[in-house]
Structure 1
Amino acid sequence: MTADKQLMMKELPKTERPREKMLEKGVHALSNAELLAILLRTGTKNLPVNRLAEQLLAKYQLTGLGGISPQELSKTSGIGLVKAVTVVAGIELGRRLSQKDPGERPVIRSPQDAANLMMGELRYQAKEHFIALLLSTKNHVIARAIISVGSLNASIVHPRELFREAISYSAAAIVLVHNHPSGDPTPSQEDISLTKQLVEAGNLLNISILDHVIIGDGKYVSFKEKGII
Protein backbone atom coordinates (compact mmCIF):
# COMPACT_ATOMS: atom_id res chain seq x y z
CA MET A 1 0.00 0.00 0.00
CA THR A 2 1.44 3.40 -0.95
CA ALA A 3 1.89 6.28 1.49
CA ASP A 4 -0.90 8.16 -0.32
CA LYS A 5 -3.33 5.30 0.15
CA GLN A 6 -2.32 4.94 3.79
CA LEU A 7 -3.02 8.63 4.25
CA MET A 8 -6.48 8.23 2.77
CA MET A 9 -7.24 5.19 4.93
CA LYS A 10 -6.10 6.85 8.15
CA GLU A 11 -7.85 10.14 7.51
CA LEU A 12 -11.41 8.84 7.94
CA PRO A 13 -13.18 6.32 10.17
CA LYS A 14 -13.76 3.07 8.32
CA THR A 15 -17.53 3.63 8.10
CA GLU A 16 -16.97 7.02 6.46
CA ARG A 17 -14.42 5.97 3.86
CA PRO A 18 -16.17 6.42 0.50
CA ARG A 19 -15.69 2.86 -0.76
CA GLU A 20 -16.72 1.21 2.50
CA LYS A 21 -19.60 3.65 2.90
CA MET A 22 -20.90 2.78 -0.58
CA LEU A 23 -20.76 -0.94 0.17
CA GLU A 24 -22.49 -0.54 3.52
CA LYS A 25 -25.05 2.17 2.80
CA GLY A 26 -25.39 2.21 -0.99
CA VAL A 27 -24.22 4.63 -3.64
CA HIS A 28 -27.02 7.14 -2.96
CA ALA A 29 -25.65 7.76 0.54
CA LEU A 30 -22.49 9.31 -0.87
CA SER A 31 -21.99 13.01 -1.47
CA ASN A 32 -20.64 14.38 -4.74
CA ALA A 33 -17.25 14.83 -3.10
CA GLU A 34 -17.22 11.22 -1.88
CA LEU A 35 -18.10 9.90 -5.34
CA LEU A 36 -15.35 12.03 -6.83
CA ALA A 37 -12.91 10.77 -4.19
CA ILE A 38 -13.56 7.19 -5.32
CA LEU A 39 -12.64 8.15 -8.88
CA LEU A 40 -9.50 9.94 -7.70
CA ARG A 41 -8.52 6.98 -5.46
CA THR A 42 -5.64 8.76 -3.69
CA GLY A 43 -4.67 12.17 -2.45
CA THR A 44 -1.20 13.60 -2.00
CA LYS A 45 1.29 13.61 0.85
CA ASN A 46 -0.24 16.75 2.31
CA LEU A 47 -3.80 16.52 1.01
CA PRO A 48 -6.13 13.56 1.70
CA VAL A 49 -8.22 12.40 -1.21
CA ASN A 50 -11.49 13.59 0.33
CA ARG A 51 -10.07 17.12 0.68
CA LEU A 52 -8.74 17.03 -2.86
CA ALA A 53 -12.22 16.10 -4.12
CA GLU A 54 -13.80 18.92 -2.14
CA GLN A 55 -11.31 21.41 -3.55
CA LEU A 56 -12.04 20.31 -7.11
CA LEU A 57 -15.78 20.75 -6.58
CA ALA A 58 -15.24 24.16 -5.00
CA LYS A 59 -13.09 25.25 -7.94
CA TYR A 60 -15.11 23.88 -10.86
CA GLN A 61 -18.51 22.94 -9.38
CA LEU A 62 -20.13 19.75 -10.60
CA THR A 63 -21.37 21.33 -13.84
CA GLY A 64 -17.90 22.69 -14.59
CA LEU A 65 -16.33 19.26 -14.23
CA GLY A 66 -18.80 18.03 -16.83
CA GLY A 67 -17.16 20.16 -19.49
CA ILE A 68 -13.49 20.03 -18.56
CA SER A 69 -10.81 18.23 -20.56
CA PRO A 70 -8.31 15.78 -19.00
CA GLN A 71 -5.47 18.08 -20.01
CA GLU A 72 -6.98 21.03 -18.18
CA LEU A 73 -7.92 18.99 -15.11
CA SER A 74 -4.41 17.53 -14.87
CA LYS A 75 -3.00 21.02 -14.31
CA THR A 76 -4.51 20.95 -10.82
CA SER A 77 -2.02 20.12 -8.08
CA GLY A 78 -2.45 16.50 -7.05
CA ILE A 79 -4.20 15.50 -10.27
CA GLY A 80 -2.05 13.66 -12.77
CA LEU A 81 -3.16 12.81 -16.27
CA VAL A 82 -4.25 9.28 -15.28
CA LYS A 83 -6.52 10.62 -12.53
CA ALA A 84 -7.84 13.31 -14.83
CA VAL A 85 -8.73 10.78 -17.54
CA THR A 86 -10.49 8.58 -14.96
CA VAL A 87 -12.58 11.47 -13.64
CA VAL A 88 -13.56 12.76 -17.08
CA ALA A 89 -14.44 9.24 -18.25
CA GLY A 90 -16.57 8.61 -15.16
CA ILE A 91 -18.48 11.86 -15.59
CA GLU A 92 -19.04 11.23 -19.30
CA LEU A 93 -20.32 7.72 -18.61
CA GLY A 94 -22.82 9.13 -16.13
CA ARG A 95 -23.92 11.74 -18.63
CA ARG A 96 -24.50 9.14 -21.33
CA LEU A 97 -26.38 6.90 -18.92
CA SER A 98 -28.70 9.76 -18.01
CA GLN A 99 -29.54 10.16 -21.69
CA LYS A 100 -30.22 6.48 -22.41
CA ASP A 101 -34.03 6.66 -22.65
CA PRO A 102 -35.18 8.86 -25.57
CA GLY A 103 -38.73 8.74 -24.23
CA GLU A 104 -37.65 10.76 -21.19
CA ARG A 105 -35.69 13.36 -23.11
CA PRO A 106 -37.13 16.87 -22.94
CA VAL A 107 -38.37 18.48 -26.14
CA ILE A 108 -37.57 22.09 -27.04
CA ARG A 109 -40.58 23.55 -28.85
CA SER A 110 -40.13 27.16 -27.72
CA PRO A 111 -37.68 29.50 -25.99
CA GLN A 112 -39.71 29.02 -22.81
CA ASP A 113 -38.97 25.29 -22.93
CA ALA A 114 -35.22 25.96 -23.05
CA ALA A 115 -35.46 28.55 -20.28
CA ASN A 116 -37.49 26.24 -18.06
CA LEU A 117 -35.00 23.42 -18.61
CA MET A 118 -31.93 25.48 -17.69
CA MET A 119 -33.20 28.17 -15.29
CA GLY A 120 -32.72 26.17 -12.10
CA GLU A 121 -29.20 25.14 -13.05
CA LEU A 122 -27.95 28.51 -14.27
CA ARG A 123 -29.75 31.38 -12.55
CA TYR A 124 -27.52 31.42 -9.43
CA GLN A 125 -24.18 30.55 -11.04
CA ALA A 126 -21.40 32.99 -10.10
CA LYS A 127 -19.69 32.52 -13.47
CA GLU A 128 -20.97 32.45 -17.02
CA HIS A 129 -21.74 28.94 -18.20
CA PHE A 130 -22.17 28.52 -21.95
CA ILE A 131 -24.20 25.40 -22.71
CA ALA A 132 -25.40 23.85 -25.94
CA LEU A 133 -28.65 21.92 -25.98
CA LEU A 134 -28.04 19.38 -28.72
CA LEU A 135 -31.24 18.37 -30.45
CA SER A 136 -32.47 15.51 -32.60
CA THR A 137 -34.45 16.03 -35.80
CA LYS A 138 -37.60 16.04 -33.62
CA ASN A 139 -36.08 18.57 -31.21
CA HIS A 140 -35.53 16.08 -28.39
CA VAL A 141 -32.56 17.04 -26.22
CA ILE A 142 -29.85 14.48 -26.98
CA ALA A 143 -27.32 16.09 -24.65
CA ARG A 144 -26.46 19.21 -22.70
CA ALA A 145 -22.85 20.06 -23.51
CA ILE A 146 -20.93 22.58 -21.41
CA ILE A 147 -18.89 24.51 -23.95
CA SER A 148 -17.18 26.89 -21.56
CA VAL A 149 -17.20 28.23 -18.03
CA GLY A 150 -16.09 31.84 -17.92
CA SER A 151 -15.18 34.48 -15.41
CA LEU A 152 -17.57 36.76 -13.56
CA ASN A 153 -18.71 38.56 -16.69
CA ALA A 154 -17.24 36.77 -19.69
CA SER A 155 -17.31 33.38 -21.34
CA ILE A 156 -14.86 32.24 -24.00
CA VAL A 157 -16.53 30.18 -26.70
CA HIS A 158 -14.80 28.74 -29.76
CA PRO A 159 -16.93 27.46 -32.65
CA ARG A 160 -14.78 24.35 -32.93
CA GLU A 161 -15.65 23.33 -29.35
CA LEU A 162 -19.37 23.78 -29.96
CA PHE A 163 -19.56 21.93 -33.24
CA ARG A 164 -17.22 19.16 -32.13
CA GLU A 165 -19.81 18.34 -29.47
CA ALA A 166 -22.67 18.62 -31.95
CA ILE A 167 -20.98 16.32 -34.45
CA SER A 168 -20.03 13.77 -31.79
CA TYR A 169 -23.70 13.44 -30.81
CA SER A 170 -24.96 13.64 -34.43
CA ALA A 171 -27.11 16.61 -33.45
CA ALA A 172 -29.45 18.04 -36.05
CA ALA A 173 -29.78 21.42 -34.35
CA ILE A 174 -28.59 23.43 -31.37
CA VAL A 175 -30.11 25.82 -28.85
CA LEU A 176 -27.46 27.94 -27.18
CA VAL A 177 -27.95 28.84 -23.52
CA HIS A 178 -25.82 30.89 -21.19
CA ASN A 179 -26.33 32.84 -17.99
CA HIS A 180 -25.55 36.36 -16.89
CA PRO A 181 -24.38 36.27 -13.26
CA SER A 182 -25.60 39.85 -12.83
CA GLY A 183 -29.17 38.54 -13.13
CA ASP A 184 -29.88 40.80 -16.12
CA PRO A 185 -30.33 38.70 -19.29
CA THR A 186 -30.01 41.64 -21.69
CA PRO A 187 -27.66 40.57 -24.53
CA SER A 188 -24.35 42.37 -24.81
CA GLN A 189 -22.87 43.32 -28.16
CA GLU A 190 -20.35 40.50 -27.64
CA ASP A 191 -23.23 38.05 -27.13
CA ILE A 192 -24.83 39.17 -30.39
CA SER A 193 -21.58 39.07 -32.39
CA LEU A 194 -20.68 35.62 -31.07
CA THR A 195 -24.13 34.26 -31.84
CA LYS A 196 -24.04 35.49 -35.42
CA GLN A 197 -20.59 33.92 -35.84
CA LEU A 198 -21.86 30.58 -34.54
CA VAL A 199 -24.96 30.73 -36.75
CA GLU A 200 -22.78 31.25 -39.82
CA ALA A 201 -20.52 28.35 -38.83
CA GLY A 202 -23.57 26.16 -38.28
CA ASN A 203 -24.91 26.98 -41.72
CA LEU A 204 -21.67 25.74 -43.27
CA LEU A 205 -21.99 22.46 -41.37
CA ASN A 206 -25.73 22.15 -41.93
CA ILE A 207 -26.35 22.26 -38.17
CA SER A 208 -28.95 24.91 -37.35
CA ILE A 209 -28.63 27.25 -34.38
CA LEU A 210 -32.32 27.56 -33.52
CA ASP A 211 -32.00 30.06 -30.68
CA HIS A 212 -29.75 31.59 -28.08
CA VAL A 213 -31.37 31.96 -24.67
CA ILE A 214 -29.74 34.09 -21.98
CA ILE A 215 -30.72 33.19 -18.43
CA GLY A 216 -30.98 35.86 -15.74
CA ASP A 217 -32.43 35.77 -12.25
CA GLY A 218 -35.85 34.26 -12.93
CA LYS A 219 -36.08 35.77 -16.42
CA TYR A 220 -34.62 35.17 -19.84
CA VAL A 221 -34.10 36.71 -23.27
CA SER A 222 -34.51 34.73 -26.49
CA PHE A 223 -32.58 35.86 -29.56
CA LYS A 224 -35.24 34.23 -31.71
CA GLU A 225 -38.05 36.15 -30.03
CA LYS A 226 -36.05 39.37 -30.33
CA GLY A 227 -35.45 38.79 -34.04
CA ILE A 228 -31.64 38.72 -33.60
CA ILE A 229 -31.44 35.33 -35.33
Structure 2
Amino acid sequence: MSIYENKLGIKAWAEADRPREKLLQQGRRQLTDAELIAILIGSGSRNETAVDLSKRILSSCHNDLHKLAQLGVKELSKFKGIGEAKAITIVAALELGRRRKDAEPAEVQKINSSLDAHRTIKADLADLPHEEFWLLLLNRANIVIGKHFVSKGGQAGTVVDPKMIFKIALEHGAASVVLAHNHPSGSLKPSTADVSITKKLMELGKMMEIAVHDHLIVYNETFLSLADEGYV
Protein backbone atom coordinates (compact mmCIF):
# COMPACT_ATOMS: atom_id res chain seq x y z
CA MET A 1 0.00 0.00 0.00
CA SER A 2 1.42 3.43 -0.95
CA ILE A 3 1.68 6.36 1.44
CA TYR A 4 -1.23 7.94 -0.43
CA GLU A 5 -3.49 4.97 0.22
CA ASN A 6 -2.47 4.33 3.78
CA LYS A 7 -4.91 5.89 6.23
CA LEU A 8 -3.43 7.86 9.08
CA GLY A 9 -3.83 6.78 12.66
CA ILE A 10 -5.26 9.27 15.11
CA LYS A 11 -1.84 10.18 16.52
CA ALA A 12 -0.68 11.33 13.08
CA TRP A 13 -3.49 13.85 12.64
CA ALA A 14 -3.08 17.59 13.00
CA GLU A 15 -3.62 18.32 16.68
CA ALA A 16 -6.71 20.48 16.00
CA ASP A 17 -8.39 17.49 14.30
CA ARG A 18 -7.84 15.04 17.15
CA PRO A 19 -10.96 14.65 19.30
CA ARG A 20 -9.27 14.55 22.72
CA GLU A 21 -7.25 17.67 21.99
CA LYS A 22 -10.28 19.34 20.40
CA LEU A 23 -12.31 18.70 23.55
CA LEU A 24 -9.58 20.20 25.72
CA GLN A 25 -9.08 23.24 23.48
CA GLN A 26 -12.64 23.99 22.37
CA GLY A 27 -14.93 22.25 24.86
CA ARG A 28 -17.09 19.16 24.63
CA ARG A 29 -19.99 20.86 22.87
CA GLN A 30 -17.85 21.61 19.84
CA LEU A 31 -17.27 17.92 19.03
CA THR A 32 -19.36 15.97 16.54
CA ASP A 33 -21.15 12.77 17.59
CA ALA A 34 -18.49 10.76 15.76
CA GLU A 35 -15.67 12.55 17.59
CA LEU A 36 -17.30 11.92 20.98
CA ILE A 37 -17.71 8.22 20.18
CA ALA A 38 -14.10 8.13 18.96
CA ILE A 39 -12.97 9.26 22.41
CA LEU A 40 -14.91 6.36 23.93
CA ILE A 41 -13.38 3.93 21.45
CA GLY A 42 -9.90 5.27 22.12
CA SER A 43 -8.21 3.96 18.98
CA GLY A 44 -8.92 2.72 15.52
CA SER A 45 -6.78 0.37 13.47
CA ARG A 46 -3.93 0.58 10.97
CA ASN A 47 -6.43 1.17 8.19
CA GLU A 48 -9.06 3.28 9.93
CA THR A 49 -9.04 6.09 12.48
CA ALA A 50 -11.27 5.99 15.52
CA VAL A 51 -13.35 8.84 14.05
CA ASP A 52 -13.81 7.01 10.72
CA LEU A 53 -14.85 3.88 12.61
CA SER A 54 -17.32 5.95 14.64
CA LYS A 55 -18.74 7.47 11.46
CA ARG A 56 -19.22 3.98 10.04
CA ILE A 57 -21.11 2.89 13.15
CA LEU A 58 -23.28 6.02 13.12
CA SER A 59 -23.97 5.63 9.41
CA SER A 60 -25.35 2.14 10.02
CA CYS A 61 -27.85 3.77 12.41
CA HIS A 62 -28.64 6.59 9.95
CA ASN A 63 -26.77 8.96 12.29
CA ASP A 64 -29.53 8.54 14.86
CA LEU A 65 -28.24 8.33 18.44
CA HIS A 66 -31.52 6.81 19.60
CA LYS A 67 -31.02 3.90 17.20
CA LEU A 68 -27.39 3.59 18.26
CA ALA A 69 -28.50 3.37 21.89
CA GLN A 70 -30.65 0.36 20.97
CA LEU A 71 -27.60 -1.65 19.92
CA GLY A 72 -26.19 -4.05 22.46
CA VAL A 73 -22.66 -5.32 23.01
CA LYS A 74 -23.23 -8.21 20.59
CA GLU A 75 -24.38 -5.94 17.73
CA LEU A 76 -21.61 -3.38 18.25
CA SER A 77 -18.96 -6.09 18.39
CA LYS A 78 -19.84 -7.07 14.82
CA PHE A 79 -18.14 -3.91 13.54
CA LYS A 80 -14.54 -4.54 12.57
CA GLY A 81 -12.37 -2.70 15.09
CA ILE A 82 -14.90 -2.90 17.93
CA GLY A 83 -14.12 -5.55 20.49
CA GLU A 84 -16.19 -6.42 23.51
CA ALA A 85 -14.47 -3.88 25.77
CA LYS A 86 -15.08 -0.99 23.34
CA ALA A 87 -18.66 -2.09 22.80
CA ILE A 88 -19.28 -2.16 26.55
CA THR A 89 -17.85 1.38 26.87
CA ILE A 90 -20.22 2.71 24.19
CA VAL A 91 -23.25 0.99 25.70
CA ALA A 92 -22.41 2.25 29.20
CA ALA A 93 -21.94 5.85 27.99
CA LEU A 94 -25.24 5.87 26.11
CA GLU A 95 -27.04 4.39 29.09
CA LEU A 96 -25.69 7.14 31.35
CA GLY A 97 -26.96 9.72 28.86
CA ARG A 98 -30.39 8.08 28.85
CA ARG A 99 -30.55 8.04 32.65
CA ARG A 100 -29.57 11.70 32.89
CA LYS A 101 -32.27 12.59 30.36
CA ASP A 102 -34.86 10.62 32.31
CA ALA A 103 -33.82 12.36 35.52
CA GLU A 104 -34.35 15.84 34.07
CA PRO A 105 -37.72 17.60 34.28
CA ALA A 106 -39.69 18.00 31.08
CA GLU A 107 -38.52 20.94 29.01
CA VAL A 108 -40.45 24.12 29.71
CA GLN A 109 -42.13 25.29 26.53
CA LYS A 110 -43.55 28.59 27.75
CA ILE A 111 -41.59 31.17 29.73
CA ASN A 112 -43.75 32.89 32.35
CA SER A 113 -41.00 33.56 34.87
CA SER A 114 -37.26 33.52 35.47
CA LEU A 115 -37.70 30.07 37.04
CA ASP A 116 -39.12 28.76 33.76
CA ALA A 117 -36.20 30.26 31.87
CA HIS A 118 -33.69 28.66 34.25
CA ARG A 119 -35.30 25.24 33.93
CA THR A 120 -35.01 25.52 30.16
CA ILE A 121 -31.38 26.65 29.96
CA LYS A 122 -29.66 25.17 33.03
CA ALA A 123 -28.62 21.87 31.39
CA ASP A 124 -26.76 23.77 28.65
CA LEU A 125 -24.73 25.70 31.23
CA ALA A 126 -24.18 22.92 33.75
CA ASP A 127 -20.74 21.72 34.87
CA LEU A 128 -18.77 24.14 32.68
CA PRO A 129 -15.30 25.27 33.87
CA HIS A 130 -15.56 28.41 31.71
CA GLU A 131 -18.21 31.02 30.94
CA GLU A 132 -20.64 30.61 28.05
CA PHE A 133 -23.33 33.00 26.84
CA TRP A 134 -26.62 31.59 25.53
CA LEU A 135 -29.92 32.90 24.19
CA LEU A 136 -33.47 31.69 24.69
CA LEU A 137 -35.57 32.69 21.68
CA LEU A 138 -39.29 33.24 22.24
CA ASN A 139 -42.27 33.91 20.00
CA ARG A 140 -45.02 36.45 20.76
CA ALA A 141 -46.71 34.00 23.13
CA ASN A 142 -43.42 33.51 25.05
CA ILE A 143 -43.13 29.97 23.71
CA VAL A 144 -39.52 28.80 23.39
CA ILE A 145 -38.60 28.48 19.70
CA GLY A 146 -34.89 27.87 20.18
CA LYS A 147 -31.77 27.91 22.35
CA HIS A 148 -28.53 29.23 20.90
CA PHE A 149 -24.90 29.28 22.01
CA VAL A 150 -23.46 32.78 21.48
CA SER A 151 -19.93 32.87 22.87
CA LYS A 152 -17.39 31.18 25.11
CA GLY A 153 -14.91 32.83 27.45
CA GLY A 154 -12.60 31.99 30.30
CA GLN A 155 -13.29 31.54 33.99
CA ALA A 156 -13.79 35.27 34.53
CA GLY A 157 -15.89 36.37 31.57
CA THR A 158 -17.00 36.09 27.98
CA VAL A 159 -17.33 38.69 25.24
CA VAL A 160 -20.82 39.41 23.95
CA ASP A 161 -21.37 41.03 20.55
CA PRO A 162 -24.80 42.77 20.40
CA LYS A 163 -24.85 42.37 16.61
CA MET A 164 -24.62 38.59 17.02
CA ILE A 165 -27.46 38.55 19.57
CA PHE A 166 -29.91 40.29 17.29
CA LYS A 167 -28.65 38.53 14.16
CA ILE A 168 -29.61 35.20 15.75
CA ALA A 169 -32.96 36.57 16.93
CA LEU A 170 -33.82 37.98 13.49
CA GLU A 171 -32.74 34.85 11.62
CA HIS A 172 -35.10 32.73 13.73
CA GLY A 173 -38.00 35.16 13.81
CA ALA A 174 -37.87 35.67 17.57
CA ALA A 175 -40.20 38.26 19.11
CA SER A 176 -38.19 38.38 22.32
CA VAL A 177 -35.17 36.85 24.03
CA VAL A 178 -33.83 35.89 27.43
CA LEU A 179 -30.08 36.20 27.97
CA ALA A 180 -28.17 33.69 30.08
CA HIS A 181 -24.59 32.98 31.05
CA ASN A 182 -22.91 30.97 33.77
CA HIS A 183 -20.49 31.87 36.55
CA PRO A 184 -18.12 28.89 37.08
CA SER A 185 -17.01 30.37 40.41
CA GLY A 186 -20.46 29.77 41.88
CA SER A 187 -20.95 33.45 42.73
CA LEU A 188 -24.22 34.73 41.27
CA LYS A 189 -23.48 38.42 41.85
CA PRO A 190 -23.57 40.25 38.50
CA SER A 191 -20.49 42.20 37.49
CA THR A 192 -20.64 45.80 36.35
CA ALA A 193 -20.11 44.52 32.82
CA ASP A 194 -23.05 42.09 33.19
CA VAL A 195 -25.40 44.91 34.16
CA SER A 196 -24.02 47.27 31.52
CA ILE A 197 -24.36 44.86 28.58
CA THR A 198 -27.86 43.87 29.70
CA LYS A 199 -29.05 47.49 29.77
CA LYS A 200 -27.44 48.12 26.38
CA LEU A 201 -29.12 45.06 24.83
CA MET A 202 -32.47 46.02 26.32
CA GLU A 203 -32.23 49.48 24.75
CA LEU A 204 -31.19 48.06 21.38
CA GLY A 205 -34.00 45.53 21.64
CA LYS A 206 -36.57 48.32 22.00
CA MET A 207 -35.27 49.94 18.83
CA MET A 208 -35.45 46.65 16.92
CA GLU A 209 -38.77 45.60 18.46
CA ILE A 210 -37.20 42.48 19.96
CA ALA A 211 -37.76 42.58 23.70
CA VAL A 212 -34.98 41.47 26.04
CA HIS A 213 -36.97 40.14 28.99
CA ASP A 214 -34.23 39.12 31.38
CA HIS A 215 -30.63 38.08 31.89
CA LEU A 216 -29.93 35.04 34.04
CA ILE A 217 -26.65 34.27 35.76
CA VAL A 218 -26.53 30.52 36.27
CA TYR A 219 -24.54 28.15 38.44
CA ASN A 220 -25.93 24.64 37.94
CA GLU A 221 -29.15 24.42 40.00
CA THR A 222 -29.01 28.03 41.23
CA PHE A 223 -29.45 31.29 39.36
CA LEU A 224 -29.98 35.02 39.65
CA SER A 225 -32.38 37.05 37.51
CA LEU A 226 -31.15 40.61 36.86
CA ALA A 227 -34.76 41.65 36.17
CA ASP A 228 -36.16 40.08 39.35
CA GLU A 229 -33.41 41.55 41.51
CA GLY A 230 -33.86 45.07 40.08
CA TYR A 231 -30.47 45.39 38.39
CA VAL A 232 -32.16 46.36 35.10
Shorter-chain TM-score tier: 0.5 to 0.7
Comparing 132-141 with 55-64, greater Cα deviation is found at 55-64
Structure-1 residue corresponding to 2:6:
6
Query: Cα offset for 1:3?
Result: 4.9
Residue 96 (structure 2) pairs with residue 130 (structure 1): no
Query: Cα offset for 1:46?
Result: 2.3
Q: Distance in 2 between matches of 1:2 and 1:167?
A: 51
Query: Cα offset for 1:164?
Result: 0.5
Residue 176 (structure 2) pairs with residue 173 (structure 1): yes
Query: Cα offset for 1:105?
Result: 7.0
Structure-1 residue corresponding to 2:25:
59
Task: Give the match's secondary structure for 2:186.
Answer: coil
Task: Give the match's secondary structure for 1:137.
Answer: coil
Higher helix share: 1
Structure 2: give runs of 5+ residues left out of the alignment.
Answer: 33-63, 65-106
Structure-2 residue corresponding to 1:190:
193
Q: Normalised by the size of structure 1, how large is the TM-score? A: 0.61
Q: Is the 8 A contact 1:7 1:48 kept in 2?
A: no
Query: Cα offset for 1:162?
Result: 0.6
Q: Distance in 2 between matches of 1:2 and 1:57?
A: 32
**Larger radius of gyration, structure 1 or 2?**
2
Q: Is the 8 A contact 1:128 1:152 kept in 2?
A: yes
Query: Cα offset for 1:220?
Result: 0.6
- Identical aligned residues as a percent: 31
Residue identity in the other structure for 2:22:
L
Query: Cα offset for 1:5?
Result: 6.8
Structure-2 residue corresponding to 1:210:
213
Residue identity in the other structure for 1:198:
L
Equivalent of 2:147 in 141, 144, 153: 144
Deviations 1:130-181, CA, capped at 9 Å, x for gaps: 0010111111221111111011111100100111100000100000010001
Equivalent of 2:13 in 47, 51, 61: 47
Q: Distance in 1 between matches of 2:2 and 2:156?
A: 43
Residue identity in the other structure for 1:196:
K
Task: Give the match's secondary structure for 2:201.
Answer: helix
Comparing 129-138 with 111-120, greater Cα deviation is found at 111-120
Query: Cα offset for 1:53?
Result: 2.6
Query: Cα offset for 1:120?
Result: 2.9
